[in-house]
Structure 1
């Protein structure tokens, strides 16, 4: 019997998310201190970081909006395709005599073997 405990996938995922968050916070502190070392006030560095965060958030919302618009358009196109009537419209010339009266009628194109101008190739 194996007595070693194994961590679950959720715990592993939570730990990796936590490591990523700590790395992000560490990088943000490093950028803030670098800006302060270059002569920028600490409040200005914090404000600049917030502006960058808000710009990234705005960009994400912009991309998500257009992604949702495209998905909505695809859903509407699918709905429209599904609700079209299944019976297709008939050819407007249902009667052969009406078809023969049209200008430029060629019996070979319509396989009209009863027409006098029909030639079998």
Structure 2
């Protein structure tokens, strides 16, 4: 057995997130102290700090929402592309059909320009 315990990657990520949170908290306290030193009331500095945090969180949630919407559209497009039969798309042929000889699509309708009253065309 090893003398030093190995930490997992989850624990390592947790420690990094904790360090970042502590650093941001210290920065917030420094900004509040600076504002109070400049003459702002203590409660006003706290309100301003909380408002700034809410604005940042709202912006992050807004961006995350639109990324989620984009992800849903990508998944829907992939699903539709996977379950669509493209083998018949674009198959046209010249043949005799209900509207006479002409260019017919895979749906059975004539797609070339023709005059139905013209007996030669």
Query: What is the TM-score of this pair, normalised by structure 2?
Result: 0.69
Q: Distance in 2 between the 1:45 and 1:17 partners?
A: 26
In the TM superposition, 1:46-61 aligns within 5 A as 46-61=46-61
CA RMSD of aligned residues (A): 2.6
Q: Distance in 1 between the 2:39 and 2:88 partners?
A: 74
Q: Distance in 2 between the 1:26 and 1:84 partners?
A: 55
1:11 aligns with 2:14: no
* Ranges in structure 1 where 5+ consecutive residues have no aligned partner: 104-121
Runs of 4+ in 1 over 4 A off after TM superposition: none
* Ranges in structure 2 where 5+ consecutive residues have no aligned partner: 104-111, 114-121
Flag the structure with higher strand content: 2
Q: Answer with 1 or 2: which has the greater Rg.
A: 1
Flag the structure with higher helix content: 1
2:92 counterpart residue number: 91
2:82 counterpart residue number: 82
